[in-house]
A and B are shown apart, each in its own frame.
Chain A
Amino acid sequence: MTRLRAKFRPSRRQFLQGSAAAGAGLLIGFNLSCSSDSPGQGPDSPGEEFSPNAFVRIAPDGTVTVYSKHIEFGQGTYTGLATILAEELDADWDMVRVDAAPSDATRYRNLYFPEVPGIGPIQSTGGSTAMANSWQQLREAGATARAMLLAAAAQEWGVSASALVAERGVVSHGGSGQSATYGQLAGLAAAMELPKEVELKDPKDFALIGTQVPRVDVRAKSNGTAQYTMDVYLPDMLTAVIARPPRFGGKVASVNKAAALRVPGVVDVVEIPAGVAVVAEGFWPARTARRALSIEWDDSGAETRGTADLLASYRQLAGQPGELARQEGDAETAIAAADRVVEAEFVLPFLAHAPMEPLDCVIRVDNGECEVWAGSQAPTVDHWAVAQVLDLPMDKVKINTLLAGGSFGRRATFDADVATEAASIAKAMASERPIKLIWTRQDDIRGGKYRPMYLHRIRAGLDSDGNIVGWQHRIVGQSITAGGILDPGGPDTTTAEGAATLAYAIPNLTVDVHTVPVGIPVLWWRSVGHSHNAFVVEAFFDELAAAAGKDPLQLRRSLLAGHPRLLAVLDLAAEKSNWNSPLPQGKARGIAVHESFGSYVAQVAEVSLGAGNAPVVERVVCAVDCGIAINPDNIRAQMEGGIGYGLGAALHNQLDVDGGRVVQSNFHDYWPLRIHEMPQIEVHIVQSAQAPTGVGEPGLPPIAPAVTNAYRQLTGQPIRRLPLLPNGADAVNPSEVKQ
């Protein structure tokens, strides 16, 4: 087997420290494996275990436990991370299980994320970074463990380590015929010295990476045993729900608790900074009593504007220059001299994440110690926030990370909102009984932290040959990071990403942004800035192609020579969708291509018209380049999921705010994509030797423009406003979609 020498990065010392403590104090029973037999008993097995670093532990029975520093909320992270480590370890996949790593940023920081002032490095999942930031780290962690197992066998058998072969969890020596399992070698390996350097596999020798490794969590998710925060039941546990102000920024003026306290099963009603919490012996009495609360709200500091007011003010701002996010040449002059000018205004709504598992958190505070169970994307931020609320040292707070029932960005907050609420209730109750805080779906839809609403104004000039000579793009909306702990300064990247990074070779180009302060809390929503910018850029590009009388694929190709990976996915999607072949009457194709988070995705949507001229998306052909494909089936799954999530938003979702109050409240008026609307999807993965990048988000940005570009082909109607069918509307209203 060929092995390549690894160059160690500065992080190596850090992640190989503190090895033996990795498994200490973890919850037993929440780990996941794909094997139908529960592999081994882990810590209870006799003999010594082997924990060479913070990411892997090998028990005497041969069980390999991989610690995931990233949360699993559906994107396949547990399986992907374990695959990387198991590959270099030459582990037997059937013996691999995955546990959530404890909350500890010194060992488990996201290597791609900057330090947060006041908190330091953070352990966090987001930005489709899990595989990319762990790739080298986990390869080295696996290779280190393997080298020590080989060293142990070499010493035991008195042979050279180079004469040994490791395969599927067994070390063998051809000459003597001796062999031993990793479990048998664990105790000896623990006594070996940490190697100064290890060699990594040549990718041509990969046995797990690139294959159809089954997900570790699918068995538990097919029989109801998977444990989410919602499923944590501790002895004597109480359930809390919170009445929050109906307008963002509102406060409690006065509360009459009497009727709520009379509801059987209610234990207490307490005021916390977020509102009024009802604590009861179960969800139903808590929720019943919340309805019986009588609260006067103080709206003096609240946001009282609605989406119509905001849109009018955004439109005004769009007439003035904003902060420059990118400038090439002189777009103003080029457009003024152009043969033809195309202009458009695009409007995109506030969006809720609406993960299937409503937000929740379990907390127990007892005798100066606190334990939290949650599915948070940023466990160390929760850790810090809970310690602050309870005035406890960090080492008296323990965070257990559980599977999350979806997130799409909602569980990655700066303010650890849900954990802070739970800690505030525990503090106010001053009871040693554990508390489970549950958000209802209405709390979720009306609870803020939305994808911001945006207004875009975009114009471009064409010369007499139909070449794009100038491009001006202005974006107005809220920043997700401005003024917060993660504000990097400068023009807001969460507003401009995907627009300021426009790949097309256009000689004169400006992108500028207005960041508007609004009292409606906003947050990253699957693919963040790309979720709106890819739509605007790719839909407008097709309008330009139509104005120039050019094929939208060929016009894209002609301007992407400097971006070979984008060009390659574009060509692959076009080829696999038979772009140049005619479709039956009443059907059209739309194409879009976009890079986000280092991955490249092109999609071709085949669309027909249903009742009320509603688009029916029949088929989507998707091409993706995310570097080395760690788990091709999971990449396909994430493309399918990104397409479905993006399509649901493009077709149906918008949150309206009226006088500061959110209008929608549940799935009856914030309509999720349903199975009958799901297109057939075909995913093609580009073979690549590049380091892997993410797939959780990049499948989403191209779908809305691919669909609307096809829709425009069918109807002549450019779509400049999403969604097409607001919240379950059964017909497209042309005046709604084109501003």
Chain B
Amino acid sequence: MKFILHVNGTPRQIDVASNTPLLWVLRDELRLTGTKFGCGVAQCGACTVHLDGEPARSCAIPVKAVKQRNVETIEGVSGSVAEAVQNSWQELQVPQCGYCQSGQIMTAIALLREIPRPTDSDIDSAMTGNACRCATYVRIRKAIHDASSSIEGK
């Protein structure tokens, strides 16, 4: 089936089976490889993208359900919050293997856009769906606080 998706601000036409998960459209059709395959069942968060700004697990969303919503991936995410999060990720040397980090960063950006000064408990609630087998969680927590402070400081 043919679909038009709005990805990172651009309309993209694709022709795939209607139950194809958004993840595999992004990767196999559009070559946006920053969004990762981790579990396929919305349990790890490696595939997190934004749908109209809300974090969503792209491995569990069939392409036909995306409709007119704007899809934002790690390649397209921008703005002061995104910049602050990505800078803090580097400043605090968060990633180890790095494979889950696009998803972590996308969830963290959505959190800070909604709650600019999150508590540890806010961070736990928002980030608990994003698994990291390297267990970089200590630094993820610090980086979110750090990004929050840097945005407020501006």
Q: Give chain A's interface residues, CB within 8 Å of chain B.
A: 73-76, 214-215, 217-228, 230-231, 233, 239, 264-265, 282-285, 288, 354-358, 403-408, 438, 440-442, 633-634, 637, 640-641, 643-645, 647-648, 666-668, 672-676, 678, 680-681
Chain A residues, CB < 8 A from B86: 222-223
Q: Can you sample 24 A-B contacts with CB below 8 Å?
A: A74-B95, A222-B101, A223-B34, A224-B33, A283-B37, A284-B16, A284-B17, A284-B24, A355-B97, A355-B133, A356-B131, A357-B97, A357-B99, A405-B97, A406-B99, A438-B37, A640-B138, A643-B135, A644-B135, A644-B137, A645-B133, A645-B135, A667-B39, A667-B44
Chain B residues, CB < 8 A from A440: 40
B38: CB under 8 A from chain A? yes
B7: CB under 8 A from chain A? no
Is A641 touching B136 in the complex (CB atoms < 8 A)?
yes
Chain A residues, CB < 8 A from B89: 218, 222
Residue from A230, A357, A645, A647 having most chain B Cβ neighbours under 10 A: A357
Residue from A230, A634, A674 having most chain B Cβ neighbours under 10 A: A674
The CA of A577 and the CA of B75, in the complex, are separated in Å by 43
Is A284 touching B21 in the complex (CB atoms < 8 A)?
yes
B36: CB under 8 A from chain A? yes
The CA of A283 and the CA of B25, in the complex, are separated in Å by 10
Is B46 touching A239 in the complex (CB atoms < 8 A)?
no
The CA of A676 and the CA of B138, in the complex, are separated in Å by 10
Contact pick for A676, options B37, B38, B124, CB 8 Å: B124
Interface flags, B84-104, vs A, CB<8A=1, else 0: 001001100111111111100
B148: CB under 8 A from chain A? no
Chain B residues, CB < 8 A from A220: 98
Which residue of chain B is the closest to A76 with respect to CB atoms?
B96
Chain A residues, CB < 8 A from B28: 239, 282-284
The CA of A228 and the CA of B36, in the complex, are separated in Å by 10
* Contact residues of B: prevailing secondary structure: loop
Contact pick for B17, options A285, A678, A681, CB 8 Å: A285
Chain A residues, CB < 8 A from B71: none
Task: Say how far A125's CB is from chain B's closest CB, in angstroms.
Answer: 13
Within 8 A of A (CB), among B3-34: 16-17, 20-21, 24, 27-29, 31, 33-34
Is A633 touching B46 in the complex (CB atoms < 8 A)?
no
Contact pick for B99, options A283, A405, A408, A441, CB 8 Å: A405
B56: CB under 8 A from chain A? no
The CA of A643 and the CA of B21, in the complex, are separated in Å by 34
The CA of A643 and the CA of B29, in the complex, are separated in Å by 39
Is B74 touching A675 in the complex (CB atoms < 8 A)?
no
Chain B residues, CB < 8 A from A226: 98
Residue from B31, B89, B134 having most chain A Cβ neighbours under 10 A: B134
The CA of A633 and the CA of B100, in the complex, are separated in Å by 20
The CA of A678 and the CA of B62, in the complex, are separated in Å by 33
B68: CB under 8 A from chain A? no
Given A215-B93, A218-B93, A283-B24, 20 additional A-B pairs, CB 8 A: A74-B95, A222-B86, A224-B74, A227-B33, A282-B28, A282-B29, A283-B27, A283-B28, A355-B97, A357-B97, A405-B100, A406-B96, A641-B135, A644-B135, A645-B135, A666-B39, A666-B41, A667-B39, A674-B131, A674-B137
Is B41 touching A214 in the complex (CB atoms < 8 A)?
no
Which residue of chain B is the closest to A646 with respect to CB atoms?
B135
A224-B74, A675-B127 given; A648·B135 CB < 8 A: yes
Chain A residues, CB < 8 A from B123: 675
Chain A residues, CB < 8 A from B40: 440-442, 666
Task: Say how far A375's CB is from chain B's closest CB, in angstroms.
Answer: 9
The CA of A681 and the CA of B138, in the complex, are separated in Å by 7
Chain A residues, CB < 8 A from B99: 228, 355-357, 405-406
Task: Say how far B2's CB is from chain A's closest CB, in angstroms.
Answer: 14
A222-B105, A640-B138 given; A356·B133 CB < 8 A: yes
Chain B residues, CB < 8 A from A218: 89-90, 93-95, 98
Task: Say how far A708's CB is from chain B's closest CB, in angstroms.
Answer: 19
Chain B residues, CB < 8 A from A265: 17
Is A441 touching B38 in the complex (CB atoms < 8 A)?
yes
The CA of A644 and the CA of B73, in the complex, are separated in Å by 28
The CA of A233 and the CA of B32, in the complex, are separated in Å by 11
Is B131 touching A406 in the complex (CB atoms < 8 A)?
no
Is B36 touching A356 in the complex (CB atoms < 8 A)?
yes
B130: CB under 8 A from chain A? yes
B128: CB under 8 A from chain A? yes
The CA of A74 and the CA of B130, in the complex, are separated in Å by 17
Residue from B29, B102, B130 having most chain A Cβ neighbours under 10 A: B102
Task: Say how far B85's CB is from chain A's closest CB, in angstroms.
Answer: 9
A228-B99, A230-B37, A357-B36 given; A288·B138 CB < 8 A: no
Contact pick for B41, options A356, A358, A441, CB 8 Å: A441
Residue from A74, A76, A355 having most chain B Cβ neighbours under 10 A: A74
Chain B residues, CB < 8 A from A408: 133
Is B134 touching A645 in the complex (CB atoms < 8 A)?
yes
Task: Say how far B6's CB is from chain A's closest CB, in angstroms.
Answer: 19
The CA of A644 and the CA of B16, in the complex, are separated in Å by 40
The CA of A641 and the CA of B94, in the complex, are separated in Å by 11
B35: CB under 8 A from chain A? yes
Is A405 touching B36 in the complex (CB atoms < 8 A)?
yes
Task: Say how far B134's CB is from chain A's closest CB, in angstroms.
Answer: 5
Chain B residues, CB < 8 A from A681: 138
B150: CB under 8 A from chain A? no
Task: Say how far A499's CB is from chain B's closest CB, in angstroms.
Answer: 26
Is B94 touching A222 in the complex (CB atoms < 8 A)?
yes
B81: CB under 8 A from chain A? no
B70: CB under 8 A from chain A? no
Contact pick for B135, options A405, A668, A673, CB 8 Å: A673
Is A675 touching B97 in the complex (CB atoms < 8 A)?
no
Task: Say how far A646's CB is from chain B's closest CB, in angstroms.
Answer: 9
B140: CB under 8 A from chain A? yes
Chain B residues, CB < 8 A from A215: 93, 95
Is A641 touching B134 in the complex (CB atoms < 8 A)?
yes
The CA of A283 and the CA of B136, in the complex, are separated in Å by 29
Task: Say how far A192's CB is from chain B's closest CB, in angstroms.
Answer: 37
Task: Say how far A223's CB is from chain B's closest CB, in angstroms.
Answer: 6
Which residue of chain B is the closest to A233 with respect to CB atoms?
B31
Is A222 touching B95 in the complex (CB atoms < 8 A)?
yes
Is B97 touching A403 in the complex (CB atoms < 8 A)?
yes
Which residue of chain B is the closest to A696 with respect to CB atoms?
B96
The CA of A233 and the CA of B26, in the complex, are separated in Å by 13
A223-B86, A284-B20 given; A405·B98 CB < 8 A: yes
Which residue of chain A is the closest to B137 with respect to CB atoms?
A678
Chain A residues, CB < 8 A from B95: 74, 215, 217-218, 221-222
